């Protein structure tokens, strides 16, 4: 690496639980101080990034870890007879709070996101996207732009900014994205979700008839190349879609040529991947609004979870541990997913990242 840092140093720098930028830490510390008049200053926005397996938070974060947990696990790749090696984690998970809240305090809200980078520069694409989307959505909401349009245009503008950034080669690299804006007004909770790709958000609704006490409802739908509407758009633009590989279990893929030489992208929408933007792969997200979320919990995860665990299985697993807190529950989910990869794929494992958010009073309480 150009910086001379080891892979382990790189992962530690990228996946620490709190923003490591000294200026940002100083700003956050100052915002928590009490003014001479005895009134607290407005809280600085905090971007808290999913810690990687084996790491712990070193400072308090601005959300309750018992009610919101986030965790990540880097992948591994085989090295032939010499075994396997850890790969740089291209996933990002983050919680941004407080987020674009009104001065009158009429509601509180936070932004929860998961990004799954891919390609040679996938880690840079997901890092860039994680920061730009949060900045742009906040700017747009503050300017009075409605939530669906703020999310939609933030994704599109981030894609354009990534293409213009010459320090990141995003022709054959990119990232999925799931961003959830969660707002609480009094006792009412509502959410807006925007997504591209195959990372997924699932709502666990209390349901006494289910064995675990919760029923899974997908809040997002994976945007696969062979989904009829997605495939029609890609083919109309001159792209080619190969079907899933039955023998090896591989996914459907997008290609720019009939010979299927490049790039074999396994999703129909993404941020980045600009080579296939010419053949119908788009960065425009689907956006949905849920007007009144009842109690339960939400899981947002990269496809490292969903490859071998379906939505209901993830909900059932988290439900076993949710009484011990969201951090404990999401850790168990990641550990189980990692074990599934070992069982099914041996010396290969994808990056795995998830966030678990309990929909209840106290979620937005600031830790002291």
Over residues 151-207, the pLDDT tens digits come to: 999 999 999 999 999 999 999 999 999 999 999 998 899 999 999 999 999 999 999
pTM score of the predicted model: 0.88
How confident is the prediction for the chain on average, in pLDDT? 86
* pLDDT score of 226: 97
The Cα–Cα gap between 212 and 200 comes to 21
| Tens digit of each residue's pLDDT (9 = 90 or more) over 284-297 | 999 999 998 888 99
Checking if the pLDDT of 39 tops 90, the result is: no
Confidence of residue 37 (pLDDT cuts 50, 70, 90): very low
pLDDT at 363: 85
* Peptide bond just before 325 cis, omega within 30 deg: no
pLDDT band for position 65 (cuts 50, 70, 90): confident
- Look at residue 364 in the predicted model and tell me its pLDDT: 80
Confidence band (pLDDT; 50, 70, 90) for 61? low
Kindly report, residue by residue over 82-121, the tens digit of the pLDDT: 678 888 999 999 999 889 999 999 999 999 999 999 999 9
Cis peptide before 263 (omega within 30 of 0): yes
Give residue 86's pLDDT: 87
| CATH class of the 47-53+61-222+284-359 domain in this structure | alpha beta
- The pLDDT-based confidence of 140 (bands split at 50, 70, 90) is very high
Q: In whole angstroms, what is the distance from residue 335 CA to residue 156 CA?
A: 34
Percentage with pLDDT > 90 across the chain = 71
The per-residue pLDDT for 214 is: 97
| Rounded alpha-carbon distances, angstroms, from residue 29 to 18, 25, 41, 260 | 12, 6, 11, 53
Going from N- to C-terminal start, the domains of the chain cover: 47-53+61-222+284-359
Quick one: average pLDDT of 228-252? Answer: 92
Give pLDDT, residue 19. Answer: 40
Which range has highest mean pLDDT (48-52, 162-166, 247-251)? Answer: 162-166
Please give the pLDDT value at position 198.
97
Residue with tokens 């990372």: 199
Is it the case that residue 29 has pLDDT exceeding 70?
no
In sequence order, the β-bridge partners of residue 366 are: none
* 321 pLDDT higher than 50: yes
Is the CB of residue 223 less than 8 Å from the CB of residue 196? yes
Task: Work out whether the CA dihedral 258, 261, 265, 270 comes out positive or negative.
Answer: negative
For the cut 50, the answer to whether the pLDDT of residue 57 exceeds it is yes
Task: Specify the pLDDT at position 56.
Answer: 63
């Amino acid at each position: 690496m150009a910086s001379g840092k080891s892979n382990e140093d790189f992962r530690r720098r990228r996946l620490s639980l709190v923003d490591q930028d000294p200026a940002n830490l100083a700003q956050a510390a100052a915002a928590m101080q009490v003014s001479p008049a005895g009134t607290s200053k407005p809280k600085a926005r905090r971007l808290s990034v999913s810690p990687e397996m084996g790491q712990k938070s070193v400072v308090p974060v601005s959300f309750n870890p018992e009610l919101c947990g986030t965790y990540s696990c880097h992948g591994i790749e085989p090295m032939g007879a010499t075994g396997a090696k850890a790969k740089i984690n291209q996933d990002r998970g983050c919680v941004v709070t407080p987020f674009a809240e009104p001065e009158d305090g009429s509601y509180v809200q936070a932004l929860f996101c998961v990004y799954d980078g891919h390609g040679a520069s996938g880690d840079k694409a997901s890092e860039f996207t994680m920061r730009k989307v949060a900045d742009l959505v906040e700017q747009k909401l503050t300017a009075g732009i409605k939530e669906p349009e703020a999310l939609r245009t933030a994704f599109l503008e981030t894609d354009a900014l990534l293409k213009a950034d010459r320090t990141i080669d995003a022709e054959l690299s990119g990232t999925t994205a799931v961003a959830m804006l969660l707002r609480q007004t009094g006792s009412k909770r509502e959410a807006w979700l925007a997504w591209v790709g195959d990372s997924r958000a699932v709502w666990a609704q209390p349901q006494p008839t289910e064995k675990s006490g919760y029923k899974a409802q997908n809040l997002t739908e994976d945007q696969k190349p062979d989904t009829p509407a997605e495939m029609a758009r890609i083919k109309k633009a001159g792209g080619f879609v190969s079907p899933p590989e039955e023998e090896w279990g591989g996914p459907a893929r997008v290609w720019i040529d009939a010979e299927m030489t490049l790039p074999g992208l396994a999703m129909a929408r993404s941020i980045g991947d600009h080579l296939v933007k010419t053949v119908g792969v788009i960065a425009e997200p689907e956006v949905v609004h849920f007007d009144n979320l009842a109690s339960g919990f939400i899981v947002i995860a990269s496809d490292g979870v969903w490859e071998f665990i379906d939505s209901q299985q993830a909900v059932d697993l988290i439900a076993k541990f949710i009484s011990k807190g969201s951090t404990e529950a999401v850790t168990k989910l990641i550990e189980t997913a990692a074990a599934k990869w070992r069982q099914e794929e041996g010396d290969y494992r994808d990056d795995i990242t998830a966030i678990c958010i309990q929909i209840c009073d106290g979620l937005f309480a600031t830790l002291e």
